[in-house]
Amino acid sequence: MRQLVLPRSFDGEPLLELEGKESQYLTRVLRLQIGQQILGLDGQGRKFLLTLTEIKNQSCTLSCKLVEPGMQVETTDTLPSYQGPYPNLVLLQCLCKGKKEEQIFRQATEIGATTLALVSSRYCVTDLSDKKDKAVRARFDRLEAQIKEALQQSGSPIATNLVPQVLDLRDVPSWWDGQGLAIFFHQSTRSEEQQTLTSLLKDHPLDKPVCVLIGPEGGFSDEECTFLEKEGFKPVVLKTNILRSETAGIYALAAIQVLLTQS
């Protein structure tokens, strides 16, 4: 663990008490000693320097200090040398099998995506609409657990956020609401004037969101493509083979992150 994902209830208090599993993880697995420090990340992406001040049988207490931009912190774990900036990447992934979704969202969190959401589209083989609420809730809980673990292990400064319901593809444009560049990936060229990823990202400000929409195994239908284009989503054909969903999302995020940060 390179950082602790702080509980949702935490709002910058000077002292934080952790109980149960999380307390045990810090004190028994990581064997953090009184006085030792670890970084914490809250849901808004704020970083806190946490110092272990008390260990009890079932709980522990940490003192919390907000890390201001530019402040040098030293913790018991080493941090990666790249500290940002990160592009604002939003991954909309059409539903696939549960295990694959977990892998995709885990890897997207590692890479530093800001927001992740599941989308249902015509050719999705997975359909959650006939599932019981409890089963859908359990699926989201597993995704949340993967995201939290990836945040803790990767030390990502981006507090990756999971949209808590499945978006219908028809509602995606209004949900996105023109926040920035929106791209959908497709296996064949849609028109002669279609732009490449490089030209779409040229002069794109790093902090302006980029939405990456990845289709299901069967791709998008022709009507879906036409609808997305009308709504301002740009089709992109990657200069590679046909990728499976779990490869396409990571490929696209890596490509965009590299094109926006490597200059």
Helix ranges (DSSP H) in the chain: 20-24, 98-111, 133-154, 172-176, 197-201, 222-230, 245-261
Tell me the closest approach of the beta carbon of residue 136 to a second copy, in angstroms. 26
- Residue number, 125 or 254, with CB nearest to a second copy: 254
- Residue number, 56 or 244, with CB nearest to a second copy: 244
- Count Cβ atoms within 10 A of the Cβ of residue 202 and give its class: 0-12 exposed, 13-18 middle, 19 or more buried: exposed
Q: Which two tokens stand for residue 240?
A: 């590679």
Name the amino acid, one letter, at 12. G
Tell me the closest approach of the beta carbon of residue 219 to a second copy, in angstroms. 10
Tell me the closest approach of the beta carbon of residue 188 to a second copy, in angstroms. 4
Tell me the closest approach of the beta carbon of residue 175 to a second copy, in angstroms. 26
The total number of residues written for the chain in this structure: 263
Per residue in 81-101, is it b (16+ CB within 10 Å) or e — as a string?
eeeeebbbbbbbbbbbeeebb
Tell me the closest approach of the beta carbon of residue 60 to a second copy, in angstroms. 25
- Residue number, 157 or 209, with CB nearest to a second copy: 157
Euclidean distance between the first and the last CA atom of the chain, given in angstroms as a whole number: 31
Tell me the closest approach of the beta carbon of residue 134 to a second copy, in angstroms. 29
- Residue number, 15 or 258, with CB nearest to a second copy: 258
Task: Calculate the alpha carbon distances from 247 to 2, 88, 111, 200 in Å.
Answer: 26, 20, 14, 21
- Residue number, 23 or 245, with CB nearest to a second copy: 245
For 172, the 3-state DSSP assignment is: helix
Tell me the closest approach of the beta carbon of residue 168 to a second copy, in angstroms. 27
- Residue number, 80 or 164, with CB nearest to a second copy: 80
- The site for a second copy (CB under 8 A) is made up of 2, 80-82, 86, 107, 110-112, 153-157, 187-189, 196-198, 237-244, 246-247, 250-251, 254-255, 257-259, 261-263
The tally of CA atoms less than 13 A away on the side-chain side of residue 43 is: 8
On whether the CB atoms of residues 119 and 148 are closer than 8 A, the answer is no
- Residue number, 23 or 160, with CB nearest to a second copy: 160
- Which residue spans within 177-220 are E strands per DSSP? 181-185, 210-214
